[in-house]
Amino acid sequence: MADSTASSPASANPAEPHPADRPVYVIGGGPGGLAAAYALRAQGIRAVVLEKSDRVGASWRRHYDRLHLHTTRRLSGLPGLPMPRRFGRWVSRDDVVRYLEKYAEFHELEIVTGVEVSRVERSADGTGWLLHATGGRELTGAAVIVATGYNHTPRIPDWPGRATYTGELLHAGDYRDPRAYAGRDVLVVGVGNTGAEIAVDLVEGGASRVRLSVRTAPHIVRRSTAGWASQYTGVLVRRLPVPLVDRLARPVAKVSVPDLSAHGLPRPDTGLYSRVTEGAIPVQDVGLIDAVRKGSVEVVAAVEGFEDGKVVLADGSRIEPDAVIAATGYSRSLEGLVGHLDVLGPRGRPVVHGPRCPENAPGLYFTGFTNPISGMLREMAIDAVRIAKALTKDGGRRLSRLPS
């Protein structure tokens, strides 16, 4: 069903449009897709957002209740509309959703909901892109921006014994609040930002015992120190050499974050920015440090598998929690969509992103598939403007223009 404020170009299979009449299709109605659509509209180019759910911001609506942005409101707004000051410095999940809804309405973006694109390929005439979508639709665009999201498909490792484990096991994407876990023994697997925050949420929500399974000790940073948000530092060092940032980060960490080695969280032996380049964003402290020091969150070894109804840990111990919450991340799930185009790297991520196209796929862009130290929303906002400028420069004559 199409958004009530949008036209529905995907409702039928009309006659093949002339190349100059083809819009730019944006796949995904999250912040990256909406920002790209606005940036194109600001350049006078028609962009059509295709969103598989019935509303924009679908992934944000599924996040746990206590989630707040770890980036500041001022550096998290999308182009053309700042986030309202009343949202506070650290914007809540619900306010992010309200902002995305308002953003689409304010900019009068053309959004078609309930349409999932399954495959993208070159058009028969070689001048654009053919999108295969739900309902047998075949849509031809002058260009395509893939913005299906960094956190697309929940991923749980295929641990030995997982298939026959009869205990309660869920992915963090299905966790909402701690009420169902009050008085219960819970194991959280994974110490990224999601796992750390859920562990603290469970403690505050009355869980009888909370254990946090850690395979690799994370870098932990204060979200803000004396009013200085860690994001500001991330912006400042974004373009510096990785070894230099690693060296600068070590003394800062020793001063700002206590040594938690005695509690099972030693300081990492690899550099902070080196880990970021590998996809591991530092954990922003929203209560984990205090919870670990007090013992209300117990750090345990990595999960190796399941056996006889128990969880087997890497140190050989076996535990029997009432519930296991796997904060084990997400996959991008781009293989079916564009995997045949040879545009993905070995880890399933686009070989390029932002204003650059893969050399073998001109007119195909990707946004939101990196998790930079300077803030994902900030970088998506920047990428949106750059993509729009690149499209205008490289293919302006064959793009569908908005009425003046």
Instruction: Give the residue-averaged pLDDT of 304-316.
Output: 97
CA 179, 185, 187, 192 torsion-angle sign: positive
Measured distance CA(203)–CA(372) in Å, rounded: 29
The domains of the chain, with CATH numbers, are: 19-152+332-398 (3.50.50.60), 154-326 (3.50.50.60)
Average pLDDT value for the chain: 92
Measured distance CA(307)–CA(313) in Å, rounded: 10
Give me the pLDDT at residue 151, please.
84
For residue 399, what pLDDT band results from cuts at 50, 70 and 90?
confident
Question: Looking up tokens 């058009």, which residue turns up?
Answer: 123
Give me the pLDDT at residue 19, please.
56
With pLDDT > 90 as the criterion, what percentage of the chain qualifies?
Answer: 85
The string of pLDDT tens digits covering residues 44-89 is 999 999 999 999 999 999 999 999 999 999 999 999 999 999 999 9
Here the tokens at position 264 are 């099972």
Give me the pLDDT at residue 13, please.
43
Here the tokens at position 364 are 């195909």
> Are 165 and 304 contacting, i.e. CB atoms less than 8 angstroms apart?
no
The string of pLDDT tens digits covering residues 105-160 is 999 999 999 999 999 999 998 889 999 999 999 999 999 999 998 888 999 999 99
How distant, in Å, are the alpha carbons of 12, 123, 124, 140 from that of 16?
11, 11, 11, 8
pLDDT at residue 386 is higher than 50: yes
Measured distance CA(276)–CA(262) in Å, rounded: 25
Residues 6+ apart with CB under 8 A from 320: 167, 185, 309, 310, 311
For residue 7, what pLDDT band results from cuts at 50, 70 and 90?
very low
